[in-house]
Amino acid sequence: MHQERIRSNPCWRGEHPQRDTIFILLDSEQPGMHGMVIGHVYLFFSFVFDDTKYSCALVHWLVPVVKDDDTGMWVARPEFTGNGRPSLAVIHLDSVEWAAHLIGVYGSGFLPADFFHEDTLDVFGAFYVSKYADHHMHEFFDY
């Protein structure tokens, strides 16, 4: 059995936030990334309505844009509203497939000396969706 721990913590070990990214299934009829988006998890929560518990997450959408021919990986970009705010949504945890591993798309310049790894998801404008995160991931993303 395989288990993953997905975190969203505003102050991990008393230092900085740790907010993981996840694959969210939108259309199970579409193969691979064609039916999915990625969410940057800001918050996990649940509520009860009519004696039914709903487990949810607040996510910032990262939308797949194109499959890069050189790397074979999809490129995803954070989605923003018209006024520049992150495009947020509440999703049910049943739509979460598993954790996502993203790699920043680097430009031609250097990262500043005061760059901290915890700022990566807020600084980069695009990310490679790694199909090499585990030994089964490549089978799913070769579409």
**In the predicted model, is pLDDT for residue 142 greater than 80?**
no
pLDDT, position 137: 65
* Mean pLDDT, range 96-118, rounded to an integer: 84
Rounded CA-CA distance 63/126 in Å is 10
pLDDT, position 139: 58
pLDDT tens figures, 56-97: 999 999 988 888 888 888 899 999 998 989 999 999 999 998
**65: nearest Cα among 128, 20, 139, 137:** 128
**In the predicted model, is pLDDT for residue 100 greater than 80?**
yes
According to DSSP, the β-strands at 36-49 and 52-67 are antiparallel
Rounded CA-CA distance 37/65 in Å is 10
> Are 40 and 17 within 8 A, CB to CB?
no
Between 12 and 90, the higher pLDDT residue:
90
**In the predicted model, is pLDDT for residue 14 greater than 50?**
yes
pLDDT, position 86: 92
